[in-house]
Amino acid sequence: MSLSIIIPVKNEEKIIEETLKHFANSWIKEIESEIIIIDDFSDDATLEKIKKFHDQNLNLKIIQNKKPGLGSAISMGIENSSKQFVAIFMADLSDSIIDLKEYYTIINNHKCDAIFGSRFIKGSVVKNYPFSKYILNRIANNIISLIFFVKYNDCTNAFKIYKKSTLLKLFPLVSDNYNIFLELPLKIICRKYNYKIIPISWNGRKKGITKFNFKELRSKYIFTMLYCLLEKILLKK
């Protein structure tokens, strides 16, 4: 069993070293793995700081995104991954490496195509979540649950793990930004692949600047939701 970890970066010079140090001192080295950094046109010292970790036995790959956008970066990471399972891990260290190990263990031991983490079920731990973003998240995910008749209440969360063979069946991907984190799980759900939901820990960004802007992304989320809804309707026919 093997694992590819995709970390998209854009101007993460203030946090990326800390993130990679967590991996360098973790269980990742005990398994067959690779860390794929997709640079989304950073114009700060992010890449210089990443290159310091080439001798840390992390099987580190650095790839330049061809088309600006977080969704494009994730797509490129998937296409360039070489392991059996693919996890998406955010550079700001909001996700937990301990939870990632739980993901990997479960997907190895169960016949699942994906493991989805939720920050809003029993056993989850959430810290430093801005109140306005929390309200937007709850409204959006409740709307998604109602429209798609799903019990998963954290579709927009990026942190998930998938079988690579299943991910490739979801292509082509139409989302070019944060909305890709909605497209992937909705396609998994609508196409009736097997998945499990587990509680996770999440800690809001402490360093650097978030790239998430709901006003700019709102139309993209609506497009992705409508696209997946159309697919769901067509699959029933």
Tens digits of per-residue pLDDT, 48-68?
999 999 888 899 999 999 999
Pairing assessment for the beta strands 2-9 and 32-39 based on DSSP bridges: parallel
Per DSSP, 196 falls in state E
Per DSSP, 173 falls in state P
CATH of the domain at 172: 3.90.550.10
Q: Residue 9: which domain range? A: 2-236
Q: 73-77, 133-137, 163-167: lowest mean pLDDT where?
A: 133-137
- Count of CB atoms situated within 10 Å of the CB of 164: 18
- Count of CB atoms situated within 10 Å of the CB of 176: 18
Q: Note whether 141 and 155 are within 8 A (CB).
A: yes
Q: What are the residues facing 116 on neighbouring strands?
A: 160, 197
Tens digits of per-residue pLDDT, 60-115?
999 999 999 999 999 999 999 999 999 999 999 999 999 999 999 999 998 899 99
In the chain, the number of structural domains is: 1
